[in-house]
Amino acid sequence: MYAALWRILPGPWWVRTIILLIAVAAILYGLFFYVFPWVSQFVNPQEVTVE
């Protein structure tokens, strides 16, 4: 899967690396600011106290 992704990206290896880093950053941004807050509405953590 990763080899196929690497082959379809344009440019030399350093351009491919930059594209992949930007893609990973965009995915993480989307997860932290959209997906995780939405999921937290449905997850009820148990109240835990530490004494």
The model's pLDDT over 32-44, given as tens digits with 9 standing for 90+, comes to 999 999 998 888 7
Specify the pLDDT at position 44. Answer: 74
pLDDT, one tens digit for every residue, the chain (51 residues): 788 888 899 999 999 999 999 999 999 999 999 999 999 888 877 776 776
Report yes or no on 51 lying in a domain: no
Specify the pLDDT at position 46. Answer: 74
Report yes or no on 21 lying in a domain: yes
Specify the pLDDT at position 16. Answer: 94
Report yes or no on 50 lying in a domain: no
Q: Are 9 and 16 in contact (CB under 8 A)?
A: yes
Report yes or no on 7 lying in a domain: yes
Domain that holds residue 30: 2-39
Report yes or no on 46 lying in a domain: no
Specify the pLDDT at position 28. Answer: 97
Q: Considering its fold, how many domains does the chain have in total?
A: 1
How far, CA to CA in Å, does 48 sit from each of 14, 24, 39, 43, 45? 48, 34, 20, 15, 9
